[in-house]
Each structure stands twice: as C-alpha cells, then as structure tokens.
Chains A and B, each alone.
Chain A
Amino acid sequence: MTEKKFMAGNEAIAEAAVQAGCRCYFGYPITPQNEIGEYMSWRLPQVGGCFIQAESEVAAIYMVFGAAGAGARVMTSSSSPGISLMQEGISYIAAAELPCVIVNMMRAGPGLGGIQPSQSDYFQATKGGGHGDYHMLVLAPHTAQEAVNLTMLAFDLADKYRNPVMILGDGNIGQMMEPVEFKSPEKPFVARKEWIVTGAKNRPRNIIKTLFLDPVILEKRNLAMGAKLREAVKNEVRFEPYLIEDADIVIAAYGTVARIAKTAIKILREKGLKVGLLRPISLYPFPYQAFAQTAERVKSILVVEMSLGQMVEDVKLAVCGKSRVHFYCRVGGMVPSYDEIVAEVEKIAKEAK
C-alpha cells in the first residue's frame, strides 16, 4: 500500500511489522500500548499469522523465544513495568542469538508509576536491563511515520545481527494520530536459517540453548557477541542533525522531546538565537561521534529528557568536556512544553554572554 493513512502510532507500528513479514505477536495488555496487541489480534489472522494474548509478559517473551527459534519474524510489545518482566527473556534471546523486535512504549515509573509518557527506561534499554553481556539495538522514533520506518528496519536488523531490537517510544508516540504510508520492503523476507528448530530431518539436531558450563566455550561466545556488537556500532548509528551547522547551542533529545524541541527551536530562531537539535535515532549504538564533533564547534549542549538524567550521561561521555552539557527534565509523566525549553535555552544563552 502506498496511500497515506491516518493512524495512531501504536497501530502504525503493528501494521509496519506485518508489512515487514512479522507473522507472530505475543503480548500482554498494558497501557499505553494496548492498541498494538489489539491491532495484531485481528490483523495477523488475516495474513495467516499467530496472535496470542499471553498470561503475562514473562510468558509472552518466552513465546517470542520459541517462535524466533522456529524461524518466524516475531514481535512483542509492552510498557515499562512489563518490559521489566521481560528482561530475563531478553537476556536469553540475546544469548541464544535469536532475532526479534520488542516495542517499549515508555510510561512514568518507577514501580507501577503512571500511564503518561516518560523516557526513564533509557538505561534499561541501552545499558542492559537483563543480566549478562549483551545489548539490544535500540531505535527511537519521533513521528508515526518514523515509527513505521524504524519498525520495518528493526526486523531487518534483528535478522542481520541475530539479536533482539527494541523500538523505544512513549505513550505520546503511541497515541498520537498522524498520516503514515507503508512502502513494501525492498527485499521480501525469506527464512533461510540453518540453525532454526524445524525437526531434525536429514540433518543433525539443532539445539537452541544458552547454558555453556565450560568457561572456555562461554568466553568464546561472549567475545563473539562483543565482536558482533562492535560491527553494529560501526554500521548502525543513526541520528538526525537539525539546524546544527550554524548553531551556538545544540539541544540533545529523542522521541517526543525531540518533536517539542523542534518547535522550541523555531521560536528561538525567530528570536535570533542560533539553536539546533542533534537527535539520536539509534540509542544503541549511540551517536557518540556525532556529539563529539558537534562539541568541537558549539559552546553548550542542552540535554532534555523525560527522566532524571539518563541519556545525558552518554552525551557527557561523547563530549568529554569539550563543551558544557546542560540538563533539563520533566518526570513522573509530565511532558516538557516548548516554552520551558525556550526558557532553558535563553537562560544558557544569557549565561554564555
């Protein structure tokens, strides 16, 4: 389909998955992403796929494990507390080198928290979350169309690296309705995987396992995982530079906050301030180099997050002291307004004089 449809982000993500060849979805209801599962419940049977509302997020992530091991393109989705429940399973999926896509529509935490948007799962998504040495590739859309594009990309990346890939959004991205269009994938998905579990016919048995009691072997596996991730770091960095060529102050933000920042920048530019936005699209691998290069030129970087300060640590790591890093946040489900961001930037600009 190439015509534009007016869809909520959650539904657009679900349709994008189906377009990308996803034929299995296992999930559990949790606000603010229920529309993903609900959409899949009627859409997947239309394409001969399988939808199960599992008994818990724990069960859901292991159904993903099973389906991925059997060679299917498979997705699950949840929101922060449910994603916490999935962490063990994600570690197992990464350890078994199974491809899958996991969508987290972040809500305020910690604990049961609230249902309003937040970005407080950044650490969980990018630094680990589950036990052991592994990383998910993490992609953060800021529009419904980008959510479509990144979801389709996520399935390709998952197969390319045999690794779980996360789409990190928030309730705002999931709920807002925007025009989207779906472009058929360049390469239709073909399951050509020698390692999948299909029954040991005319070949030795395949075992999908993560237990390796011999540390000599387990070290080799871990080092191979590290090498694989280094390849991803080399090849899969994605970011959007927005009006940063002449900027004195650069805002760093992703997802919903980036949208708001773009409005703030418009206002600030009208006031004569040269402000830009460096928007990470891949949160893992993080665009360290882009920030390092930007820090050479600008005096200040303002990181705006809906968290107490998570991505800001990666920005500081990248910048390495070459530029001042400021931080502004709203938490608990509160979303920063463009006015607040304008005020923060003006404060920074005044201090710089």
Chain B
Amino acid sequence: MEMEMVSGRPKTLLPVPTHYCPGCGHGVIHRLVAEVIDGLGIREKTVVVAPVGCAVLLYNYFDVDAYEAAHGRAPAIATGCKRVNPELVVFTYQGDGDFAAIGTAEAVHVAARGEKITTIFVNNAIYGMTGGQMAPTTLLGQKTTTTTSGRASETAGFPIRMSEMIATLPGAAYVARVSVSSPKNVAQAKMAVRKAFETQIKGLGYSLVEFLSQCPTNWHMTPVESVRWVEEQMVPYYPLGEFKVPKEE
C-alpha cells in the first residue's frame, strides 16, 4: 500500500538536536509554534525574541530572524522591533522568571500598550536553567531548591496567574492558557497559538498563550510522571481556556 507522510518536522524547526531534557515541554512548544509559522506562511517575516532560561538558545532551532534578550526584557525589545517594522510578525518566547518575575513590568506594559506582538509564555512552575529554584508560578507546597520544605505562603507568597492578570488589560486582545500534557491538549494548544498569531496579523492587539509545561528534571520525575503532574497538580490552579478573545468589528 502506498503511504504518504502526514506528520513530520515543520520546515521552520531546523533539524538540529535540541539541548532540552528528554520529555521537556519546550520541544513540543517549539514544534507547535514552528508548525503555525509554516501553516500561516510567515517564516520570512517572523522575528523571535529569545529569553534567558532554558530556551535562551532557541535561535539555534527556529529558522527566523532573532534577538537574544536580557532577562525579562523581551517584550521591550519586541516593541522596538515591531514599531520599526510593523509588517513583521514578532513574538517573544519566555519562561516564568522572564515573564512573571524580573520582566513583569515589561509583560504588563506590552499588553497595556496593546503592542501587536505575541508572547509564548512557558510556565513550568520552576526555574529550570539555573537548577530548580522557586518561580513565581511555583505551587504552594511544591519543593524546589529554594523551598526545600515546600513553598509556604507566609514566607514566599502565592503563585501568580499571569494569564488572568494580563487578560484584565484592554490592550490584551487574545489570552489563553494551554498545556502539552496529552495529545488532545497539544492539538488545542496549537489552535491557540494560531489564534494568537492571527490576532497579531490582524492588528487587533497583544496576544498571549501561556503553556503549562513539564520539567521532568527539576521536578525529579520521569517525563510520563511529569505530564501527569501538570494535569493533576497544575491545571487545578492554572485552569486551561481562553481568557480573552478579540472583539472583531
């Protein structure tokens, strides 16, 4: 029987083995974004702004023009780029330190300004690159290298729900939280990414897709255990869904 390939590596994702740990969510998220870029045919006018974090080297994997940002400042760099060339499709790719800690002012204001850029925000409830410290998104009771007895609200406060927060801003046109913990969630996540990029292309405002992602290494789990942890522990606190959809005239 004659077979045809129905699924393979997207063109925008370079055939370069990644440095990400086995099972890491970044790999899936990169692939989804690359698939959307291919599907929309926008590779030649897409610019990515890389974060500081495990994804700092993402410009080795995406075949698009790129900036490497200082920690948390990707939205500001993206703003500068997009204002010079509004016809480009500019997206930032950021982790929880980048977006929910050091860069939270930039995160709020890029949305407040309604900048026509997109943020892919990878929430894995931990600081991966630096070895597993607490993130602003770390859950209460979660053990990290800086909350060895489990995060306690009295000393370390409460986790931040970035999507809900950003969705309150009028300049944010599309805000969604997704996960890559199962095939169904991956498929839905891709649709959200596509909607986010379309929001930008239509000039409707700022778009944000928050990905709940697994970090098997720093959670000290196997990849299969880690996707289960996303579904059982993260989703109850960080519900999936669309928090803002554009009102198109």
Contact = CB atoms under 8 A, between A and B. Distances in A.
Interface of A: 24, 26, 50, 52, 54-56, 58-60, 62-72, 74, 88-89, 92, 197-202, 205-211
B151 interface: no
Contacts of B108: 55
Given A199-B88, A208-B68, A211-B56, A63 B79 contact: yes
B76 A207 contact: no
A63 B67 contact: no
B217 interface: no
Among B46, B50, B65: residue with most chain A CB under 10 A: B65
Interface in B35-62: 43-47, 49-50, 56-57, 59
Given A67-B83, A200-B64, A62 B88 contact: no
A50 B83 contact: yes
Interface string B82-104: 11110010000000000000000
Contacts of B65: 197-200, 205-207
B73 interface: yes
A291 B144 CA distance: 59
Q: Is the interface of B mostly helix, strand, loop or mixed?
A: helix
A61 to B, nearest CB: 8
A63 B64 CA distance: 20
B8 to A, nearest CB: 21
A50 B79 CA distance: 11
Contact of A52 (B49, B56, B113): B113
Among B46, B78, B84: residue with most chain A CB under 10 A: B84
Given A197-B65, A209-B50, 17 more contacts: A24-B83, A54-B109, A58-B76, A60-B76, A63-B76, A64-B80, A65-B77, A65-B80, A67-B81, A74-B80, A199-B44, A200-B43, A200-B65, A205-B59, A205-B65, A208-B66, A209-B67
A70 B43 contact: no
Contacts of B63: 200, 205
Interface of B: 43-47, 49-50, 56-57, 59, 63-70, 73, 76-85, 88, 105-106, 108-109, 113
Contacts of B59: 205, 207, 209
B84 A209 contact: no
Given A62-B73, A63-B76, A211 B81 contact: no
A166 to B, nearest CB: 19
Among B47, B66, B76, B80: residue with most chain A CB under 10 A: B80
Contacts of B84: 24, 50, 66-67, 70-72
B80 A197 contact: no
A72 B50 CA distance: 20
Q: Is the interface of A mostly helix, strand, loop or mixed?
A: mixed
B13 to A, nearest CB: 13
A129 to B, nearest CB: 15
A345 B73 CA distance: 50
B44 A211 contact: no
Given A55-B105, A199-B88, A209-B67, A66 B44 contact: no
Contact of A205 (B66, B68, B76): B66
B66 A209 contact: yes
B68 to A, nearest CB: 4
Contact of A211 (B47, B68, B78, B85): B68
A203 to B, nearest CB: 9
Given A54-B109, A55-B106, A211-B56, A198 B73 contact: no
Nearest to A67: B80
A199 B85 CA distance: 10
Given A58-B73, A200-B43, A211-B56, A52 B79 contact: yes
A170 to B, nearest CB: 27
Among A60, A198, A211: residue with most chain B CB under 10 A: A198
Contacts of B49: 66
28 contacts: A50-B84, A52-B113, A54-B76, A55-B106, A55-B108, A59-B76, A62-B76, A62-B106, A63-B83, A65-B76, A65-B80, A66-B81, A66-B82, A66-B84, A70-B81, A88-B70, A92-B70, A197-B65, A197-B67, A198-B65, A198-B88, A199-B64, A199-B88, A200-B65, A201-B45, A206-B66, A209-B59, A211-B56
B81 A69 contact: yes
Contact of B105 (A56, A63, A88, A198): A56
Given A70-B84, A200-B63, A59 B109 contact: yes
B110 to A, nearest CB: 9
Contacts of A197: 47, 65-67, 81
Contacts of B56: 211
B73 A89 contact: yes
A63 B81 CA distance: 8
Contacts of A67: 80-81, 83-84
Nearest to B105: A55
B43 A65 contact: no
Contacts of B50: 209
Nearest to B88: A199
Contacts of A92: 70
Contacts of B68: 207-211
